[in-house]
Amino acid sequence: MNHKTPLNVLFLCTHNSARSILAEATLNHIGGGRFKAYSAGSSPRENQQPNPLGLRALQAAGISTDGLYSKSWDAFAGADAPQMDLIITVCDNAAGEVCPVWPGHPATAHWGYADPSEVQGTEEQRMDAFRQTLQAIKRRLDLLVNLPPQKLASQLIQTTARNLAKEA
């Protein structure tokens, strides 16, 4: 892997409003230029926006929310889209769905997280669910970004990313 070329990572969820957005923003924040993160949904609702509590959790953690928006995974299946090196599903629904055929046959892994936007209760309880999910995602992404470059080589990245699903 050329150190000047970042590893493109796409995080997928159903609506692209919570977990995948948290993962995209966090990896871009901590990736040190070695990673370029994106996110998308298999079936975002019409006029879908990132969950406001997710954006607040990111901002409270000092992570930029600039440029975050919900989009369909179709945006990454076209020939003109950036080619992904690794695709990670972060919700169980998306993991079971039939994915598009991705250009370049990227590595894939599934890291399951409960959906913080489904938590009921006070705003503080709901906010806490987003904070906990963000912390869980960040723990795993910290492991990813601290891997030695050879673990991120194209022939190893799928095994490495799938092993990280068992960590943190």
Residue positions annotated with a catalytic role: 13, 91, 99
The answer to whether 101 touches 83, Cβ cutoff 8 Å, is no
Query: Which residues pair with residue 53 across a beta bridge?
Result: none
The answer to whether the beta carbons of residues 29 and 63 sit under 8 Å apart is: yes
Which of 57, 27, 21, 55 shows the shortest CA–CA distance to 41? Answer: 21
Q: Which token pair is 153?
A: 């080589």
The secondary element (H helix, E strand) that includes residue 10 is strand 7-13
